[in-house]
Amino acid sequence: MTNKLEQLRSMTDVVADTGDLQAIEKYKPQDATTNPSLLLQAAGMGDWHTTLSTVSSLTKTSDTQQSIKAACEAFSVAVGIKIIQLIPGRVSTEVDARLSFDTQATIRTAQQIIEKYDNVGVSSDRILIKIAATWEGIKAAEQLEKEGINCNLTLLFNFAQAAACADSGVFLISPFVGRILDWYMARGETPKSAARDPGVMSVSRIYRYYKSNSYSTVVMGASFRNTQQIEELAGCDRLTISPSLLESLAGDDSLLEQKLGVGSHDTETKASYPHETFLWDMNNDAMAHEKLADGIRKFTADQIKLEQVMANHLRTDQHITPNANRS
């Protein structure tokens, strides 16, 4: 019998949640996702030192703060370019979390990211622009999708977020599993089984809702704490998984049962979430309200740390040739 990772591939598109090129080469995912936290990790890896130096040199101007922000954006694209060379599908590149409540700034930044990829010959159909699933982020994604720029809505914890994304024509959502469980565990609420894990149940409901209402938006479960959560979502459109959990799945030769996408789906009545209803639903969901805010703060903190890394390179790297990252 094949291992669980290979069995999962037959049911679900496997996505790597990492900027680690060696892990991507090893596990051969369909797609890959990045975020500020993963980019910060990548910045500490030896593989990326030259790239850091190159982008900091290329983006250096008299405006230090602007140079730092431009270097961070260029680094995220440089990571994406390297990853795309190793996968057949798409890479997700995230917009600065500090823009999560600014629709127009999110749109402009997404367009700039796509332009940077286009300038090096990477087609937009290989990229997903990753945006926090605030109301403003969802509205930005709605406009970007109309422009042909596909989006991945992240930090999604609540059914209203998922419904609004589908109604806005978003290409893909990343409903979180592990961070939902974290919230309940911190309050002493331990699920009796993986099937009753609140994060698993959230993604399962969203998946059923989309399929029973014929939405084309892709459901990609994210943020896993253990392989049991992944196994309970086997059959989901896509799952983005860290290298450590990919390794665990690859080392397990027992049978994996498909849980989603088998037979008919329970009927989920189509719901409408205009702005006021969306905000009210989020306000009444303490977990989603807190975890969305917490996620934005944490991604922002790691973005600031990445900017500090770039600031150090801007100060110290003086001898990088302009075309060093095109080889």
Q: Which residues have a catalytic role annotated?
A: 130
- Which value, to the nearest 10 degrees, does the dihedral of the CA atoms of residues 78, 83, 88, 94 take? -70
Which residues, in sequence order, are bridge partners of residue 130?
A: 94, 152
**Chain-centre distance for alpha carbon 259:** 23
Contact (CB, 8 A) for 234 and 259: yes
Helical spans, DSSP H, in the chain: 4-9, 21-27, 36-43, 49-58, 64-84, 103-119, 135-146, 159-167, 178-186, 198-212, 227-232, 243-250, 275-284, 286-316
> Within 10 Å of residue 145's Cβ, how many Cβ atoms?
17
For 176, the 3-state DSSP assignment is strand
Angle at CA 139, nearest 5°, toward 295 and 266? 75
For 175, the 3-state DSSP assignment is strand
Q: How far apart are CA 264 and CA 56, in angstroms?
A: 53
Q: How far apart are CA 60 and CA 322, in angstroms?
A: 11
Q: How far apart are CA 168 and CA 241, in angstroms?
A: 26
**Phi first, then psi: what are they for 91, rounded to 5°?**
-120, 140
**Phi first, then psi: what are they for 267, rounded to 5°?**
-70, 130
